[in-house]
Amino acid sequence: MKRFLSWALGLPTAIVAIAFALANRSKATVSLDPISPQDPFMGLSFSVPIWSILFAGVFIGLIIGWVAAWINQSKWRQAAHKARLHLEEEMAKKAAIEKRLNNGEMVPVDNQQML
């Protein structure tokens, strides 16, 4: 079902994106100089197809979103790391106790005797 939904949404989106790119092949001048866009300082102007501006914006937005999500999830990653360290510590304690039991240094206590 997930694969079908992925194709059902992805294929029409790809077709629309390709059609947009083909329809907007003409060049547009992008100037990074807000004071003098006609005569930019240090060549901060370039001509690119219109579709590349849109796709670059979408790509940059995705990257910013991924970074923001990664930063936001740091508390869960930190909690998982602490839990993993605690588990390893407890497993080491358990292994030490089992080793002592196997060597005869400790005698196992039957829970029924304690009642």
The answer to whether residues 27 and 52 touch, using CB atoms and an 8 Å cutoff, is no
Domains of the chain by residue range: 1-70, 73-105
Say if pTM beats, i.e. exceeds, 0.95: no
pLDDT given for residue 91 in this prediction: 96
pLDDT given for residue 22 in this prediction: 87
pLDDT given for residue 45 in this prediction: 80
pLDDT given for residue 59 in this prediction: 94
pLDDT given for residue 43 in this prediction: 67
pLDDT given for residue 94 in this prediction: 92
Return the beta strands (E) in the chain as ranges.
27-31, 45-49
pLDDT given for residue 89 in this prediction: 96
Q: Could you give the 3-state DSSP secondary structure of residue 49?
A: strand
Residues (pLDDT < 50) of the chain are: none
End-to-end CA distance of the chain: 55
